[in-house]
Chain A
């Protein structure tokens, strides 16, 4: 018999799990080899020595803790939702949230007050009778109801939708193209002039404004074209554009421009060069 087998037998012997058949075999082996018996007694003694250790028991405190814990787990287990609801909980949440949103929207829409609009306007009626200078002229104040929606005036875009889009483009090149395509016409309509005036007054790019001036140069003989330039002369921030307009108006001896040029002359912010040009131009024009 190999040593490993003997060790296994002795382990069984020590722990008391040895069968009767093996016991007999062991007895025979003990007779043959007394050292083996001694070895068996040694391990059996060690095994017995551990018996005392097994006499230690759990305390009441531990039991109490366990039963408290068990009650807690049971309570939590009862609170658990039913499996079907647990599975569909996320869908339920989503459905409830959607329903709440819809109800909120409907309630909000039905309960909100309409924005108040001005329903009256003040009209001053001037009597037909004449009064002497210094007399106080009585005025009658009437409250006239205003229609909720004032009649729409025709906008520029209705006439020139494409130009209107281009002239309001983010890109200066597109705006210049729009200006040039308008000024190509020999006879400008009121809407064309309105667009050009808009560009000349409000366009942030000086290139676009210069394009307008260059574009209307051949048409400057027309009074309405001169009107566009006159209306825009005071709103110019760039001196050289202002100079160009002044040159153009004086060149064609625009009478209508004289009062505006004088105003510009009196303006302290006007540069000396422009003032000098205006003075010279008016003198030439008068002589």
Chain B
């Protein structure tokens, strides 16, 4: 069954089908949330729960014929924004972006990549996460971001280039 068929079943009351969707997307959403939640495992797991809880709660809002992945990603992004706002309120500071200076060097290569990713501008990091972690096609990413496929491709290229540069700086 495709994702869309499964989601329609969920919408029609067959909630067990949500478990299949969960199994298909839990890792992707989890990875996405890891980068959103500054690599915090606990918070990322909570965020994933919130995403699937919303999927079940707002299942009626899913429309037939709509691609499932962008819809799910929309939920994930909303959850992430809400959590980010809460966190910003709690901490009393709101840093939208990324510092360019003051890199810390890492011995661990994976840790360096992770750090480099978090240091990328939001728009670049977003397309990389969608493409790599959520395994979304360029067309789907373009639909979510409301722009052309060409723009997304260019953004991916520049994001990868920037990632490489940052990686070299910190490693």
Report A's interface with B, CB cutoff 8 A.
Answer: 4, 7-8, 10-12, 14-15, 17, 39, 42-43, 45-47, 49-50, 52-54, 56-59, 61-63, 65-67, 69-70, 73-74, 77
Instruction: Decide: A63 and B26 in contact? CB cutoff 8 A.
Output: yes
Instruction: Decide: B48 and A62 in contact? CB cutoff 8 A.
Output: yes
Q: State the CA gap A61–B15 with chains docked (Å).
A: 21
Instruction: Decide: B154 and A7 in contact? CB cutoff 8 A.
Output: yes
Q: A53-B110, A69-B53, A73-B57 are in contact. List 10 more A-B contacts (CB 8 A).
A: A4-B150, A12-B153, A43-B157, A43-B161, A53-B133, A54-B27, A54-B31, A56-B34, A59-B45, A62-B45
Q: State the CA gap A39–B36 with chains docked (Å).
A: 28
Tell me the minimal C-beta distance from B129 to chain A in angstroms: 9
The interface size of chain B toward A, counting residues with CB under 8 Å, comes to 40
Q: Is the interface of B mostly helix, strand, loop or mixed?
A: helix
Please give, as numbers and ranges, the residues of chain B lying within 8 Å of A69 by CB-CB distance: 49, 52-53, 56
Instruction: Decide: B31 and A11 in contact? CB cutoff 8 A.
Output: no
Instruction: Decide: A77 and B131 in contact? CB cutoff 8 A.
Output: no
Instruction: Decide: B30 and A58 in contact? CB cutoff 8 A.
Output: yes
Instruction: Decide: B52 and A46 in contact? CB cutoff 8 A.
Output: no
Please give, as numbers and ranges, the residues of chain B lying within 8 Å of A15 by CB-CB distance: 131, 156
Please give, as numbers and ranges, the residues of chain A lying within 8 Å of B22 by CB-CB distance: 66, 70
Instruction: Decide: B157 and A8 in contact? CB cutoff 8 A.
Output: yes
What 0/1 pattern do residues 32 to 56 of B give for CB contact below 8 A with A? 0010000001000100110011001
Interface residues of B in 108-154 (CB under 8 A from A): 109-110, 113-114, 117, 128, 131-133, 138, 150, 153-154
Q: State the CA gap A10–B41 with chains docked (Å).
A: 33
Give how many A-B residue pairs fall within 8 Å (CB-CB). 108
Q: Does B72 contact A (CB under 8 A)?
A: no
Which of A4, A45, A50 has a CB less than 8 Å from the CB of B117? Answer: A50
Q: State the CA gap A202–B48 with chains docked (Å).
A: 85
From B13, B128, B160, name the one whose CB has the most chain A CB atoms within 10 angstroms.
Answer: B160
Tell me the minimal C-beta distance from A66 to chain B in angstroms: 6
Tell me the minimal C-beta distance from A69 to chain B in angstroms: 6
Please give, as numbers and ranges, the residues of chain B lying within 8 Å of A43 by CB-CB distance: 157, 160-161, 164
If A47-B160, A74-B15 touch, does A65 touch B167 (CB 8 Å cutoff)?
no
Please give, as numbers and ranges, the residues of chain B lying within 8 Å of A47 by CB-CB distance: 132, 160
Please give, as numbers and ranges, the residues of chain B lying within 8 Å of A39 by CB-CB distance: 161
28 A-B interface contacts by CB (under 8 A): A4-B150, A10-B157, A11-B153, A11-B160, A12-B153, A15-B156, A39-B161, A42-B160, A43-B160, A43-B161, A43-B164, A46-B164, A49-B113, A49-B167, A53-B110, A53-B114, A54-B132, A56-B27, A57-B30, A58-B26, A59-B41, A62-B45, A63-B26, A66-B48, A73-B15, A73-B57, A74-B16, A77-B13
